[in-house]
Amino acid sequence: MTGCLSPDALTRIHADLGSIAERAHLAACPACTARSRRMRRDLDMIAAVLRDTPEPVTRPALARHRGWLPAAVGLSAAALALLLWVEVVVWRAVTPVPPTMQPQEVAAILSDVSASLFSLSGDPGAGAAVEDGPQSVEDMAREVDRALTGAAP
């Protein structure tokens, strides 16, 4: 034999697949014997690690999804804050609601609308409730009391 054994030849010998010449060289060559012992030691260590080390605990899908959760919550909160800001500041500034609208005015408008809706001609008409004028809450309460107790008006 002219040269020392190649790593492939040493691997074949460890797998009991080496030829007679390769095994004869290994038995006669101290350098190849040392290499073979190192390879055997490395293979034993690899086998021991693979056999004795517990598998790594991985939660790939769950971890990836939970990684998105804080970002999604933050974006949702930011969107909600923006929506509230638009509603409170911008929308109120664009469409000012008259703060002095009295309940009587609202009642008058509503009675006009209902009289127009429920009249056949489209006009509120002379006998509509508009002529009675808007009622206050106290008047309505008095009417309810009269109806319930039967007291004279």
Site residues (vs Zn ion, CB under 5 A): 4, 29, 31-32
Query: In this complex, which beta carbon is closest to Zn ion, that of residue 31 or of residue 63?
Result: 31
Cβ neighbours of residue 24 closer than 8 Å, sequence gap 6 or more: 1
Least Å distance, CB 43 to Zn ion, is 19
Query: In this complex, which beta carbon is closest to Zn ion, that of residue 3 or of residue 153?
Result: 3
CB of 5 closer than 8 Å to CB of 13 = yes
Query: In this complex, which beta carbon is closest to Zn ion, that of residue 26 or of residue 115?
Result: 26
Query: In this complex, which beta carbon is closest to Zn ion, that of residue 29 or of residue 39?
Result: 29
Least Å distance, CB 44 to Zn ion, is 22
Least Å distance, CB 21 to Zn ion, is 12
Dihedral sign, Cα of residue 10, residue 15, residue 19, residue 23: positive
Least Å distance, CB 16 to Zn ion, is 19
Of 136, 145, 142, 144, the residue nearest 107 (C-alpha)? 136
What radius of gyration, in Å, describes the C-alpha atoms of the chain? 48
